[in-house]
Amino acid sequence: MVVIGGPTGIGKTKVGIALASSYDSVIISADSRQIYKEIPLGTAAPTLEEQSLVKHYLVGSRSVFDHYSAYEFEQDALKLSEKLFEDHETLFMVGGSMMYLDAFCYGIDDLPTIDLQLRKDLMRQYEEEGLEAIRLQLKHLDPEFYKQVDLKNPKRIIHALEICLMTGKPYSSLRTRPRRERPFTIVRIGLNMDRSELYDQIDSRVPVMIERGLEAEAKSLIEHRDLNALNTVGYKEMFAYFDGSHSLEKAVELIQRNSRRYARKQLTWFKRDKSISWFHPLQIDDMLEHIRVSR
């Protein structure tokens, strides 16, 4: 299994298609947002034309109304790969969702279903006492995860608190289980480029999304803006635009800025994994040689 990861906007889809085509193979998507069928534009999901070049799995296979987790992705991707290995000697997985890729490569524990009353209580605490109160509670219960989480994201903080309070254990301890063995070889490839080059690509991609209909796509989902699937870059900024908080031009600027920030976060995460070999997206021949000698 060749696992291709990297930051948003770097061109993972094109690289995946080029490599998979060389092996007459298929691609399993590892993107926690491209899996939702209602939001292809804002998530830069592979187009129908791209999917006609190489068969993609787990793209647009779920609804934003479905609950879906990294654990469920691990199980779905493992079952799918077992079936696909019957017809292909080498498979490709492409995506930028850090937890999805790590879950598939190393395993993740199924976290408990959250008690609805507990969730309501934490939401009430957040609304009444503010973000700082729940941040401090997380810092006390799980200082390790506190160092990693986006401290401006209340949903992530509340979710971690839910797990801590439900299990009596730090959320981080449930995310660091021993790595599980897989019945196939995994070759991890990371894509990177000069930071200014990457930022230019990210910035140029956003106006194209607008031209293709991101505004209409986001507007059709505004009534469901509280869904976790829509708590993502592209939609949050568009919803604020619809509310009158800023102009469309400003929304584009914010999507670009927040996409750049997310790209930095992705690279920081991926670079912790020493098994990843790094390439520029244009180094297709070098990647093919790396796959050949690593099999």
Residues 138 and 171 in one domain: yes
- Residue where a domain stops, chosen among 175, 192, 224: 175
What percent of the chain is predicted at pLDDT more than 90?
Answer: 78
Q: Which residue has the higher pLDDT, 226 or 33?
A: 33
Residues 157 and 133 in one domain: yes
Q: Which domain holds residue 95?
A: 2-108+178-294
| pLDDT higher than threshold 80 for residue 115 | no
Name the residue among 82, 49, 44, 70 with its Cα closest to residue 209: 44
Residues 186 and 168 in one domain: no
| pLDDT higher than threshold 80 for residue 114 | no
Residues 186 and 220 in one domain: yes
Report pLDDT for 116.
73
Residues 58 and 170 in one domain: no
**Across the chain, what does the average pLDDT equal?**
93
Distance in angstroms (rounded) separating the CA atoms of residues 268 and 7: 10
pLDDT band at 117 (very low <50, low <70, confident <90, very high): confident
> What are the pLDDT digits (tens) for 63-80?
999 988 888 999 999 999
CATH of the domain at 252: 3.40.50.300
Residues 15 and 33 in one domain: yes
- Residue where a domain stops, chosen among 175, 205, 225: 175
Report pLDDT for 119.
83
> What are the pLDDT digits (tens) for 182-216?
999 999 999 999 999 999 999 999 999 999 999 99
- Residue that has been written with the tokens 């930071």 in this structure: 195
Residues 184 and 229 in one domain: yes
Residues 133 and 182 in one domain: no
- Residue where a domain stops, chosen among 175, 197, 217: 175
pLDDT band at 176 (very low <50, low <70, confident <90, very high): low
Q: Into how many domains does the chain fold?
A: 2
Residues 125 and 268 in one domain: no
pLDDT band at 238 (very low <50, low <70, confident <90, very high): very high
CATH of the domain at 170: 1.10.20.140
Name the residue among 102, 80, 88 with its Cα closest to residue 5: 102
Residues 260 and 140 in one domain: no
Q: Which residue has the higher pLDDT, 115 or 105?
A: 105
> What backbone phi and psi angles, to 5 degrees, belong to 23?
-105, 5
Residues 54 and 200 in one domain: yes
> What backbone phi and psi angles, to 5 degrees, belong to 24?
50, 45
Residues 103 and 199 in one domain: yes
pLDDT band at 34 (very low <50, low <70, confident <90, very high): very high
Report, as an integer, the average pLDDT of 236-256: 97
Task: Point out the least confidently predicted range of 183-187, 227-231, 236-240, 259-263.
Answer: 227-231
Please list, residue by residue across 180-209, b when 16 or more beta carbons sit within 10 angstroms of its beta carbon and e when fewer do.
Answer: eeeeeeebbbbbbbeeeebbebbbebbeeb
